[in-house]
Amino acid sequence: MKTEKLRIIPLGGLGEVGKNMMVYQYGKEMMIVDVGLMFPFNNMLGVDYIIPDFQYLMDKGDQIKGIVITHGHEDHIGAITHIVEHFNVPIYATPLTRGLIEVKLARANKLENVELITIRAGERAQIGPFQVDFFHMCHSIPDAVGLGIQTPAGLLVHSGDYKFDQTPVDGWTADFAKLAEFSKRGVLALLADSTNADHAGWTPSEAVVDSALERVFAEAPGRIIVASFASLVSRMQQVANATMKHGKKLAFAGTSMVDNSKMAMTLDYLDVPEKNLITVEQANRMPEKQVVIMCTGSQGEVTSIMGRLARGTNRQFDIKPKDTIVISSHPIPGNEESYYYTINALIRRGANVIYDPIESVHVSGHANQEDMKLLINLVKPKYLIPVHGELRLLTQHARLAESMGIPHENIPVVENGQVIEFYNKKMKLAERVPGGYVFVDGTGVGDVSMPVMREREQLSQDGIVIIDLLLYQNKNELRKPPQIETFGFISLSESEGLMEPLVEIIENIVKSNRENLKSSIEKATKSHFFSETHRRPWVRVVINEV
Interface positions with a copy of itself (CB under 8 A): 15, 41-43, 45-46, 198-200, 333-334, 336-337, 340, 343-344, 347-348, 353, 355, 357-358, 390-392, 395-396, 415, 441-444, 447-449, 451-453, 455-464, 466, 468, 470, 479, 483, 485, 487-491, 494, 532-535, 538, 540, 542, 544, 546
Q: Which residue's CB is nearer to a copy of itself, number 122 or number 501?
A: 501
Identity of the residue, 281 or 336, whose beta carbon is nearer to a copy of itself in the bound complex: 336
Rg from Cα positions in the chain: 28
Q: Which is nearer to a copy of itself, 283 or 413 (CB)?
A: 413
Strand pairing of 418-423 and 6-12?
antiparallel
- Choose between 280 and 414: whose C-beta lies nearer to a copy of itself: 414
- What does the alpha-carbon distance between residue 379 and residue 349 come to, in Å, rounded to a whole number? 51
Most distant pair of Cα atoms in the chain: their distance: 89
Q: How far is the CB of 449 from a copy of itself (least distance, A)?
A: 5
CB of 419 to a copy of itself, least distance (A): 18
Q: Quick check: is 371 catalytic?
A: no
Nearest to 136 by CA among 172, 186, 165: 172
Give the whole-angstrom CA distance, residue 455 versus residue 252.
Answer: 42
Please return the burial class of 297, using the count of CB atoms within 10 Å of its CB with bins 0-12, 13-18 and 19+: buried
3-state secondary structure 96-154: HHHHHHHHHHHHCCCCCCCCEEECCCCCEEEECCEEEEEEECECCCCCCEEEEEEECCE
| Cβ 368 vs Cβ 200: under 8 Å | yes
Residue 423: burial class (beta carbons within 10 Å; 0-12, 13-18, 19+)? middle
CB of 511 to a copy of itself, least distance (A): 20
Active-site choice (199, 366, 388, 397): 366
Q: Which residues contact 134 (CB under 8 A, 6 or more apart)?
A: 92, 94, 119, 120, 121, 122, 123, 124, 125, 145, 146, 147
- State whether the Cα torsion 354-358-361-367 is positive or negative: positive
Q: Given the complex with a copy of itself, which of 14 and 33 has the nearer CB atom?
A: 14
- Among this protein's residues, is 441 annotated catalytic? no
Based on CB atoms, which residue is closest to a copy of itself, 176 or 472?
A: 472
Four-residue CA torsion sign, 470, 476, 481, 487: positive
> Measured in whole angstroms, how far is the alpha carbon of residue 221 from the centre of its chain?
35
To a copy of itself, the closest distance from the beta carbon of 135 in angstroms equals 31
* Least distance (Å) between residue 489 CB and a copy of itself: 7
For residue 66, the minimal CB distance to a copy of itself (Å) is: 32
Q: Which whole-number Å values give the CA distances from 63 to 28, 84, 93, 255, in the listed order?
A: 6, 15, 20, 37
Phi, then psi, of 387 in degrees rounded to 5: -130, 175
Task: Give the strand pairing for 381-387 and 187-193.
Answer: parallel
Query: Which of 499, 419, 421 lies closest to 466, judged by CA?
Result: 499
CB of 15 to a copy of itself, least distance (A): 7
Closer residue to a copy of itself in complex, CB, 102/455: 455
Q: Amino acid letter at 529?
A: F
- Measured from the CB of residue 187, what is the shortest distance to a copy of itself in angstroms? 27
Q: Which is nearer to a copy of itself, 108 or 542 (CB)?
A: 542
| Residue 186 or 488 having the CB closest to a copy of itself | 488
Of the two residues 288 and 415, which places its CB atom closer to a copy of itself in the complex?
415
Catalytic residue among 133, 143, 175, 193, which? 193
CB 418, min distance to a copy of itself, A? 12
**Which residue type does 216 have?**
V
DSSP string, 424-465: TTEEEEEEE----EEEEETTEES-S-HHHHHHHHHHHHH-EE
| DSSP one-letter string for 13-25 | SBSBSS--EEEEE
Q: How many CA atoms lie within 13 A of 432 on its CB side?
A: 6
Alpha helix locations (H) across 366-420?
369-379, 391-403
Class of residue 298 by CB neighbours under 10 A (exposed 0-12, middle 13-18, buried 19+):
buried
Q: Are 11 and 54 in contact (CB under 8 A)?
A: yes
Q: How far is the CB of 119 from a copy of itself (least distance, A)?
A: 36
Give the residue numbers marked as catalytic.
Answer: 193, 366
